[in-house]
Structure 1
Amino acid sequence: MALLVIAVPEFSSNNYDLIQSFRAENDVLFYNVVKPHFTLVFPVFDVSIEAFKQEIVEKSRGFHSFDFKIRCATINKDAFNNYYHTFLVPDEGFSNLIKLHDSLYSGLLADNLRLDIDFIPYIGVGNDECSEKCQKMAQFWNSNDFCISGRISKLQVVEFDFDTKKLSKLEEIRLEHT
């Protein structure tokens, strides 16, 4: 079991449906596991659930809810397996996600931060072992003039079971309203 922190955006139903219909066809790894989200803390194995939840509450204190806009897609090679991923990356709200991520890793979780891997806030929409397939997915998005708007107003502490591929929400933390 691993502990993570995700931000599940609030979207218009049109944007949500657009992302989910694309994911249904292209996200073979996570479509049936989790809704569209930004991962802010990646799998942690060496901290108790209670200590983890307490740390996330503490480190997210003072952060306000914020809007974001996504206008581009990119691909990324997974550092842990043979998959490539297609990501929707925000233009606006990018710095808020970076600062929140950095805060969450600034105390108890500091030793879990991977400095050898760039943190890019993203919503995963596709994956494949073939890089060209993921590049075509990104080109699909980038060949259109699109803008997906949303809002981040809460974080979820979740537990992921790698054997069953099951995600369970343990805690929901509301960010301060602006």
Structure 2
Amino acid sequence: MAYLVLAYPEIKKMDFDVIQNYRKEKDQLFYDVIDPHFTIVFPVFDQTETDFIAEIKKQVATCNSFDFVLRCATINKDAFNEYYHTFLVPDQGYSNIVKIHDKLYSGTLKENHRLDLDFIPHIGIGNSLNKLDCKKMVDEWNKDDFEIIGTVKTLTIVEYNNDNVRKVEEIKL
């Protein structure tokens, strides 16, 4: 069992449906597990639920909601398995996500911060064991201009256990 912090974006229903329809076809790992999101804190295994919630609330007390715009898809190799992933990465809002991510790892979660891995704010939309499949996904998205505008107003603490995600608490920014 692990605890994470996610930001579920507030976007137009039409954009949500486009992402979900694409994920239904291309996201074999996570489509059935979780809705589109930005991961702010990755799985933490060494905290109690109470301590984790308290730490997150303490760190985000001064954080504000923010807008973002997605205009680009990228490919990323998973550091923990053989999969490649296709991400929608924000142009606008990128730094807001990075700063909240870093702030949440500045206190008692400091030892959980993976400094050996680049943190790339993203919404995952596809994955494959074949990197060329992900490259094709990226090219499909990037061949035409697109713009998905949204807002992050809350952070959601979730418990992840055996491919099940349970919402623990939602924190307004």
Calculate the TM-score normalised by the size of structure 2: 0.99
Q: Counterpart in 2 of 1:174? A: 172
Tell me the amino acid that sits aligned with residue 18 of structure 1.
V
Listed one character per residue, the Cα deviations across residues 42-61 of structure 1 (whole Å, up to 9, x for unaligned) are 01000111000000011111
Where structure 1 has 5 or more consecutive residues not aligned to the other structure, the ranges are none
> Are 2:154 and 1:158 aligned?
no
Displaced runs of 4 or more, over 4 A: none
CA distance in 2, matches of 1:37, 1:128: 19
Q: Counterpart in 2 of 1:62? A: 62
Q: CA deviation at 1:103?
A: 0.4
CA distance in 2, matches of 1:144, 1:18: 14
Tell me the amino acid that sits aligned with residue 28 of structure 1.
Q
Q: Counterpart in 1 of 2:75? A: 75
Where structure 2 has 5 or more consecutive residues not aligned to the other structure, the ranges are none
CA distance in 1, matches of 2:130, 2:144: 23
Tell me the amino acid that sits aligned with residue 48 of structure 1.
T
Q: CA deviation at 1:144?
A: 1.1
Residue pairs, 1:98-177, within 5 angstroms: 98-161=98-161, 163=162, 165-175=163-173
Backbone CA RMSD of aligned residues? 0.5
Q: CA deviation at 1:62?
A: 1.0
Q: Counterpart in 1 of 2:7? A: 7
CA distance in 1, matches of 2:31, 2:58: 31
Alignment length, in residue pairs? 173
Q: Counterpart in 1 of 2:42? A: 42
CA distance in 1, matches of 2:49, 2:43: 12
Listed one character per residue, the Cα deviations across residues 28-86 of structure 1 (whole Å, up to 9, x for unaligned) are 00001110000000010001110000000111111111110000000100011110000
Q: Aligned to 1:6, what secondary structure does the other structure show?
A: strand
Tell me the amino acid that sits aligned with residue 12 of structure 1.
K
Calculate the TM-score normalised by the size of structure 1: 0.96
Q: Aligned to 2:22, what secondary structure does the other structure show?
A: helix
